[in-house]
Structure 1
């Protein structure tokens, strides 16, 4: 059902918000912080989301950055999930059946859909079902990954309950034509190939940066179930993938005060869906398209703004064929459609006020619709409109204290809106030690399934749902200095989160029930360079989850930890590394504990020439061939494990030009 005559702001925003927005409109012409340039080129200024993430870290949020060098060491068939699994403290990632597959994600004890995923600012959370679908994102065009922990609903909106993961794509950085070619092979006959080319040109308007890339990953995969868990009706016992991605990015600078950035990515994927029973052929044939256009302008020393439009289109054809016990077959789905459209526009302005206070105000408008012919979801549109403001006062009398205050009003078509707020603070105790904290609220809007699912004979969807609400608190201490006269960093964070107005099924209809989820825990991480070339890092997360009034929360480990030791030669020509990750207790919906396992990975690289144009890289995943589970399912007779990736060797050759 589509809502008619929807008024975006039926509840009046606060006086502070209206005043802030009015001030920004009068300021109307400014570009998100003075653009940072590389060799004087505005085309290489950081993206708006990167600036926002750095700003939030400066004012009390915990920020983790995974750099390109780390991404390179994640293996030739690395998707984004693999990189996150290897490098982000406090984030648990368990790909279901290896690369390019669904997974379980938890940031500081959260549910998967409490984490907001962005690709250059475009939401990747599935608007149809609300979960995280990172299974078709290769890393060939990724420059870095930035993670902001804790509730971040003020600037980023819905689903930023436990944090935000911003995937930043590469920009052109060379005036001469250059790029990279990668070829990879793994021990399960997986093949990967990707190429990238870039160049910065000058024209009458300014500098134009152009970048294009292509990626192909293909494998017949491994057997994700043990022989004893497969029924006799299974004929397809491997989980394969075939993913092709094409992308391009253009950034046109206009002098040194403005730029226009255009981005487009097209992914064509054929993904197997493995089953332990009856499976003959189950496949998702997917087309995923993402496009953005961003105008950024610096109108003076104290005023800046950006305008961003985005489009996220997901189209899937689902086929499912079963083997019957008598030898025949049954076609349950034959190219049935499911997918969604997510589009929107965001305007944000930043003003430096008298007294050096900083004010950010913005508006965020989103529309989305989803359809599923398998689980019947009506093709109806939902809309969300928001105003937000973030004040960062400058206290000259206390120069080491950096506080901020933010508020956001979000209105949803048909359902009840949400008003959230956040206080953050960072205090520099010394040059090496800082105290930080956050306290505030966040929210999660209902997805298309919850709003509009309409199975024959019943109306399960509820267009009047209101958002889930959360209250978040984090307190942490960071160290960035020397340990025994060698560089070291460390951090400890105490966190607490309470989520209410949970959306759940009440019989045959989605409702906001009376259940509640409470999470508390501690997150520790550290890194040290004991000698030149050597690095050692470790992190651990311990959380306690309490559910109330019949709520269940499964598959989230109560404890997990990682440690890594690496060495890079003094001339930078070669390096080796090893990592150990341990997962503690992890229970499924049946109360069975399938955790308590350790996995060892190792990697190495070698440049073949002094100019560092030719490189060989090796990844050994699950070096000790540990048999472990990433989840559980039923084979019709009993619960069985989804088997994690067995020992796998991946070799990659890289040519840079």
Structure 2
């Protein structure tokens, strides 16, 4: 697993000269606004006022042959994404040096984060085939998005409406016995618009750990996932729209261990639904009213092998429950009563219920409500400088918090701009931190206060060579106060208790991006991120947060030839984790290369698409995590690493109609 040392300077130079495939939105003019609702266009509007927005396009996802959302996000500058053990598994993310729980995930604006634990992303139930684009907002965005947006927001946008009837069906197979079949259809009839999609993803998977004891007889982490969804829109008139959305997912996801596991699985059943009313036709008043419902149910099973007899030992019987319901509503009104300024006034209400019979979290209920006010300048005041300031008052989880945000963008010229975003954010305690009652582990503390953070992002960027080359340099800083951690010093709680500690998390860093379009269809990009993420008083980088990482790629997408290809490079520097019995260990320092090509056999019609992708083309044996466990013979603990995806060949076919 040990990687050869690669000079930071040489690597960055290579990536800046080497190609890349990422859709960078350094220039606000390059951002495509595909919606009309105040909610749908919120990330783009925040970008116009200085928030740092990056978008992953449908073309990027197709060219990568991405199976799940985590794979689709591998090109995002400043975002470290490491799936636990292949597609549809838990992921660690670090956005500009953040912890996983500091990033909010949403699907079409509906928050998806698991409030039981906070760190669970939606990656294990979201196939990439349903995605039209992914919007990544970097920096504190608690003003509109609330808790867990301390470092940013990842918004997955599903298939959009179209007035013309059409769709696509796709099929994919891979060298890990994986099969993926998906499709969508959309169109309109009079005032009615609709889009529907479905997918089935299945794989035997691969052995997830570098070392497994003989007692572990289930040795490949597989998955079997079904997902269907749809949207409906009705135009009452040109100004008033009704939108309905629904998605259902069922999944069987292996949840293995390096020892003793005969069977261990999460069987998921997830429902996401929303109803939204948009008034979009007036420059003076626009608004949306929205209700949403998110239901996540897991039936867990874990059966181990007895070390002496080999007979099955039921730890958690099939059907052991953990899950939650998250439902509520929101409203935002955009007002422009006079020249020079506009106002956004919003209200959020969230109602959460959950319980866990695996790690023993008792039944929990939580209600949170918030009011939002933001003031913005308009082009009437200045078409080169756009400024905004806002407040959010949050009442919930036993506490009241007010956060603020200011941002701005100044276009020095057509080829140079400055932007900045700063403010405070908050992170509510999770249900496990508040109410965990598992006898083996740390205890919950219902008296916890929310974590608070102060952050700022400052960027300068522009274009060169008549817009053919784009660049952006960003400095970021963030401080987290009132940190929630485990206290082992209280004799009443020998296994620890969650508490607000005096320690702080301090993050400092920088991010560089380059992109270029050369000739007919050549697209190049590269990025490098440096992060210093430390607890106060410590000289050590925080666990699971790389200090350096970089990526670069090249894509060839000619308009006059029915053929294309791409290559991407992902390098991760030192990344540490503290492991029981082995102390602090480094599992970083690796470089992974992916490649793909596609062809349209019907030429300019481009209805038929064949694709060939190779993930980890050089079969690099790299780690996405570390752990330790007891050996079967009782001789002590052994260290293992969670294996990143080995070399995998994927072949695909798509038919558009």
Distance in 1 (CA, whole Å) between partners of 2:103 and 2:415 is 30
Distance in 1 (CA, whole Å) between partners of 2:441 and 2:590 is 44
Corresponding residue to 1:570 among 539, 547, 559:
559
**In the TM superposition, what is the alpha-carbon distance from 1:356 to its structure 2 partner?**
2.9
Distance in 1 (CA, whole Å) between partners of 2:563 and 2:288 is 42
State the match for 2:639 in structure 1: 639
> SS of the counterpart of 2:101?
helix
The CA RMSD measured in Å over matched residues stands at: 2.0
**In the TM superposition, what is the alpha-carbon distance from 1:396 to its structure 2 partner?**
5.6
Deviations 1:378-419 (A, max 9, x none): 112111110010100248665421111011010114x22211
1:139-150 to 2 correspondence within 5 Å?
139-150=128-139
Distance in 1 (CA, whole Å) between partners of 2:430 and 2:601 is 51
Q: TM-score scaled to structure 1, two decimals?
A: 0.89
1:11-410 to 2 correspondence within 5 Å?
45-75=35-65, 78-85=67-74, 87-133=75-121, 134-176=123-165, 178-202=166-190, 207-226=191-210, 229-298=211-280, 300-326=282-308, 327-334=310-317, 335-394=319-378, 398-410=382-394
Distance in 1 (CA, whole Å) between partners of 2:532 and 2:201 is 38
**In the TM superposition, what is the alpha-carbon distance from 1:45 to its structure 2 partner?**
3.4
**In the TM superposition, what is the alpha-carbon distance from 1:540 to its structure 2 partner?**
0.8
Distance in 2 (CA, whole Å) between partners of 1:630 and 1:45 is 36
Distance 1:524 1:313, change over 3 A: same
**In the TM superposition, what is the alpha-carbon distance from 1:634 to its structure 2 partner?**
1.2
State the match for 2:594 in structure 1: 601
> SS of the counterpart of 1:353?
strand
Distance in 1 (CA, whole Å) between partners of 2:207 and 2:450 is 40
Corresponding residue to 1:432 among 377, 392, 415:
415
Deviations 1:439-471 (A, max 9, x none): 210111111112222235999323332211000
State the match for 1:616 in structure 2: 610
Q: Which runs of 5+ in 1 are unaligned?
A: 1-35, 39-43
Corresponding residue to 1:499 among 470, 473, 480:
480
Distance 1:267 1:439, change over 3 A: same
Distance in 2 (CA, whole Å) between partners of 1:209 and 1:299 is 18
Q: TM-score scaled to structure 2, two decimals?
A: 0.89
**In the TM superposition, what is the alpha-carbon distance from 1:73 to its structure 2 partner?**
1.6
> SS of the counterpart of 2:597?
strand
Distance in 2 (CA, whole Å) between partners of 1:74 and 1:209 is 30
Distance in 2 (CA, whole Å) between partners of 1:482 and 1:175 is 38
Distance in 1 (CA, whole Å) between partners of 2:618 and 2:104 is 34
State the match for 2:3 in structure 1: none
**In the TM superposition, what is the alpha-carbon distance from 1:329 to its structure 2 partner?**
2.2
> SS of the counterpart of 1:383?
strand
Is 1:535 matched with 2:540?
A: no
Distance in 2 (CA, whole Å) between partners of 1:394 and 1:457 is 57
Deviations 1:421-444 (A, max 9, x none): 011111111111110112210111
Contact 1:416 1:465 in 2 (8 A): no
> SS of the counterpart of 2:524?
strand
Contact 1:619 1:650 in 2 (8 A): yes
> SS of the counterpart of 1:188?
coil
Distance in 2 (CA, whole Å) between partners of 1:225 and 1:139 is 25
Aligned residues: 605
Contact 1:403 1:424 in 2 (8 A): yes
Contact 1:369 1:448 in 2 (8 A): no
> SS of the counterpart of 2:434?
helix
Larger displacement relative to structure 2 (631-640 or 244-253): 631-640
Distance in 1 (CA, whole Å) between partners of 2:302 and 2:639 is 21
> SS of the counterpart of 1:417?
strand
State the match for 2:469 in structure 1: 488
Contact 2:84 2:92 in 1 (8 A): yes
Contact 2:442 2:498 in 1 (8 A): no
Deviations 1:211-259 (A, max 9, x none): 1111000000011223xx2112111110000010011110111211011
Contact 1:357 1:393 in 2 (8 A): yes
Distance 1:408 1:379, change over 3 A: same
State the match for 2:18 in structure 1: none
Contact 2:442 2:486 in 1 (8 A): no
Q: Which runs of 5+ in 2 are unaligned?
A: 1-30, 489-495, 631-636
Larger displacement relative to structure 2 (647-656 or 630-639): 630-639
Distance in 2 (CA, whole Å) between partners of 1:572 and 1:256 is 40
State the match for 1:584 in structure 2: 573
State the match for 2:5 in structure 1: none
Distance in 1 (CA, whole Å) between partners of 2:98 and 2:139 is 10
> SS of the counterpart of 1:55?
helix
Distance 1:397 1:70, change over 3 A: closer
Contact 2:206 2:220 in 1 (8 A): yes
Distance 1:580 1:299, change over 3 A: closer
Distance in 2 (CA, whole Å) between partners of 1:458 and 1:529 is 54
State the match for 1:448 in structure 2: 431
State the match for 1:648 in structure 2: 648
Distance in 1 (CA, whole Å) between partners of 2:622 and 2:143 is 39
